[in-house]
Structure 1
Amino acid sequence: MDGYLFLTTELIVGFFALLLLTKVLGKNQITQLTPFDFISALVIGELVGNAIYDKDIGLQYVLYAIFVWGSLIYCIEIITQKFRFTRGFLEGTPAIVIAKGRIQYEELRKNKLDLNQLQHLLREKSVFSVRQVEYGILETNGTVNVQLKPLYAQPTNRDLSLNPKNLPMPILLIMDGEIIKKALKEIGQDETWLKDQLKERGILSYKDVLYAEWIDGEPLFLQTYRAE
């Protein structure tokens, strides 16, 4: 019975100690979770978990571990607020991964981000085609914020009292210099058709293409590796 009482006491104390820590550190630890914040949360959870379930570690060690680690995080927050030049190193800096409608391949490489991940992040912003994006910024918390091209920005159909039309799903035909054969079959075309499309645009090899996207009724949207 003493064991259950001991465990219950440590759980309650640990719970309120972590609750107090989140209040002190602020909401940005959750809403703007950076890789460092994520690791910090894991470390705090591990410290508290080990302390609670290890009978050789008393309650004072649980509180001490939370206090020391929380103090370190709090100090980092104060430093980045007081000294602007430390923010880039301690918090990271946003990266422009799409600029003037073009995917910035080198920025993707620097940030260890591939095209599939970029598409996923864009879809989280309800953007299903790269051609709609004028600028895309990879934030320090791993999300992408976008500025749409004027053609796709507001006003909306509702603002203009227009009847909305069904939007076709964009289909990716080339990614990272490789043809997606399944996608070609889906639109009823073959590699010969795709290569002819590239030749019309002055592109001799599909391996030179970083990204090529097809939408029914619209010209093929593509981008090569080389800057234009």
Structure 2
Amino acid sequence: MLDSYIALTCELIIGFFALLVLTKVLGKNQITQLTPFDFISALVLGELVGNAIYDEDIGLHYVLYAVFIWGMLIYAIEMLTQKFRATRAVLEGSPSVIIAKGRIQFKELKKNKLDLNQLQHLLRERGVFSIQEVEYGILETNGSVNVQRKSAYDIPTNKDLAIHRSDPTLPIPIIMDGEIIEESLTEMNQSKTWLQEILLKRGIATHKAVLYAEWIEGNPLFLQTYKEER
């Protein structure tokens, strides 16, 4: 029994340091620029080491062998993408422009399996609480979104210019994917009739033609239809 514990301890320690060395060899980009492929690779590597350690029929040399082979495969991919630019789009993916000239690129959202709620979440992570503030939005290969704000919302800030403004309010989405968000209308103390009147004034017959609409207190209703982007 004692021998089993000693063997397990040795395998855990060696497996730990083997993974540590592999992480150092592969570089920090495995964490800071984690792509879906990198994420899956890390899961598979952890599974290989875990199975090798806890399977009594597999010795310590199999643990090291699994780490070495899988690490070399990942390292080879990294070297390939560094030396040959043409391979990067296939092996690493390429960024997608999901907001262009202030308009949501619906086809790109569908292509990247991204819905509007997820887009809002990614924008809020960048400190952007309204899509109206964004001129361009780029979905990076690691799943994050980088934005270029419209000039009206970019630096210099109101504080820099000593301009006093009232406290900002959160935008309220009222239409998503052609569906009215009734909870939002309730929060605004407004009705569907009020919304329909606004849409008709803007030349839109039905809310089902609207991809996204949001309301900010004191501003006109912002909306975008499914009409093909130009």
Same-fold call, TM > 0.5? yes
Q: Specify the SS of the correspondent of 2:160.
A: helix
1:38-49 correspondence to structure 2 within 5 Å: 38-49=39-50
Q: Please give the alpha-carbon distance, in whole angstroms, between the structure 1 residues aligned to 2:133 and 2:118.
A: 17
Specify every segment of 5 or more residues in structure 2 that has no aligned partner in the other structure, as ranges: none
Q: Give the 5 Å matches for 1:1-228.
A: 1-227=2-228
- Cα offset for 1:2? 1.1
> Structure 1 residue runs of 4+, over 2 Å off?
161-165
Letter of the 1:96 counterpart: V
Shift of 1:164: 4.8
CA distance in 2, matches of 1:164, 1:85: 49
Q: What is the TM-score of this pair, normalised by structure 1?
A: 0.98
The Cα offsets for residues 163-213 of structure 1, whole Å up to 9 and x where unpaired, read as 453101100000000000110010010000000000110000100000000
**What letter corresponds to residue 82 of structure 1 in structure 2?**
K
Normalising by structure 2, what TM-score? 0.97
CA distance in 2, matches of 1:164, 1:37: 45
1:75-118 deviations in Å (ceiling 9; x for gaps):
00011011110000000000000000000000000000000100
Give the whole-Å Cα distance in 2 for the aligned partners of 1:88 and 1:75. 16
Amino acid paired to 2:18: A
* Letter matched to residue 172 of structure 2: I
Counterparts of 1:186 and 1:9 in 2: how far apart (Å)? 61
Matched to 1:93, the amino acid is S
Cα root mean square deviation, aligned: 0.9
